[in-house]
Structure 1
Amino acid sequence: MSVMPFQVPLWTELLAAGLGGLQGALFAAGERHRRIDVLGVVVIGLAVSLGGSLLRDIVLDQPPVVLWKNWYLVVAGASAVLGMALQPVLARVDWLITGLDAVVMGLFGAIGASKALSLGAGEAGAVVAGVIGAIGGGMLRDVILSLPISFLQVGTLYAVAAGAGAGMLVVLAEFGAPIPIAGLVCVVVTAALRLIAIRFNWTFPEQRALKAP
Structure 2
Amino acid sequence: MPELLDLIGIFVFALSGALMGVRKRLDVVGMAVLAEMTALGGGVVRDLVLNVRPAAFQSVGYVLVPLVATAIVFFWHPHVARVMPAILVLDAAGLGLFCSVGTLKALEYGLSPLHATLLGVATGVGGGMLRDVLAGEIPTLLYDRQLYAVPALVGSAMMAGLSAMGLHGWPVTLASAVLAFGLRIAAMRFRWRAPLARGVAPPE
Give the structure-2-normalised TM-score.
Answer: 0.86
Task: Supply the distance in 2 between the matched residues of 1:49 and 1:154 (Cα, whole angstroms).
Answer: 19
After superposition, residues 44-193 of structure 1 pair within 5 angstroms as 44-193=34-183
- How far did 1:203 drift? 2.1
Does the Cα contact within 8 Å between 2:18 and 2:34 map onto a contact in 1? Answer: yes
Gaps of 5+ in 2: none
The percentage of aligned residue pairs carrying the same residue is 34
- What is the aligned partner in structure 1 of residue 185 from structure 2? 195
- What is the aligned partner in structure 2 of residue 10 from structure 1? 3
Superposed CA deviations along residues 47-99 of structure 1, whole A, max 9, x for unmatched, are 11101111111222222221233221122322332344342213223313322
Superposed CA deviations along residues 164-188 of structure 1, whole A, max 9, x for unmatched, are 1111222233344443222222221
Does the Cα contact within 8 Å between 1:20 and 1:45 map onto a contact in 2? Answer: yes
Which one of the candidate residues 13, 19, 26 is aligned to 1:36? 26
Task: Supply the distance in 2 between the matched residues of 1:179 and 1:100 (Cα, whole angstroms).
Answer: 23
Does the Cα contact within 8 Å between 2:20 and 2:135 map onto a contact in 1? Answer: no
Aligned length: 200
Greater Cα shift, 193-202 or 88-97: 88-97
Superposed CA deviations along residues 15-45 of structure 1, whole A, max 9, x for unmatched, are 322222233223433x1xx321122112111
Task: Supply the distance in 2 between the matched residues of 1:28 and 1:179 (Cα, whole angstroms).
Answer: 38
Does the Cα contact within 8 Å between 1:21 and 1:83 map onto a contact in 2? Answer: no
Greater Cα shift, 104-113 or 80-89: 80-89
Task: Supply the distance in 1 between the matched residues of 2:144 and 2:115 (Cα, whole angstroms).
Answer: 25
Runs of 4+ displaced beyond 6 Å: none
- How far did 1:139 drift? 0.1
Gaps of 5+ in 1: 1-7
Does the Cα contact within 8 Å between 1:154 and 1:206 map onto a contact in 2? Answer: no
| Aligned amino acid, residue 164 of structure 1 | V
Task: Supply the distance in 1 between the matched residues of 2:128 and 2:36 (Cα, whole angstroms).
Answer: 11
Flag the 1:166–1:154 CA change in 2: closer, same or farther, 3 A: closer
Task: Supply the distance in 1 between the matched residues of 2:143 and 2:109 (Cα, whole angstroms).
Answer: 32
Give the structure-1-normalised TM-score.
Answer: 0.83
Flag the 1:180–1:39 CA change in 2: closer, same or farther, 3 A: same
Greater Cα shift, 90-99 or 43-52: 90-99
